[in-house]
């Protein structure tokens, strides 16, 4: 698969998936590798 997928969810789900605890409004950028492994590649702060 190529391109980007945008998913909006709650902090608890993002933390369980990535280990990152985002603040309200933050975005966590996750790359899928080999079709199943996840890697956090960035985080965006809306302010």
Q: Which two tokens stand for residue 35?
A: 């079709």
Nearest partner of 26 among 5, 4, 47, 41, judged by Cα = 47
Asked if residue 2 has pLDDT above 80, the reply is no
| Confidence (pTM) | 0.76
**pLDDT one-digit tens code per residue, 10-38:** 999 999 999 999 999 999 999 988 888 89
Asked if residue 3 has pLDDT above 80, the reply is no
Whether the Cβ atoms of residue 18 and residue 30 lie closer than 8 Å to each other: yes
pLDDT, residue 35, reads 81
How far apart are the C-alpha atoms of 37 and 40, rounded to whole Å?
A: 10
């Amino acid at each position: 698969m190529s391109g980007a997928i945008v998913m909006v969810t709650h902090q608890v789900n993002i933390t369980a998936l990535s280990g990152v605890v985002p603040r309200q409004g933050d975005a966590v950028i996750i790359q899928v590798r080999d079709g199943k492994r996840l890697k956090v590649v960035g985080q965006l702060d809306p302010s």
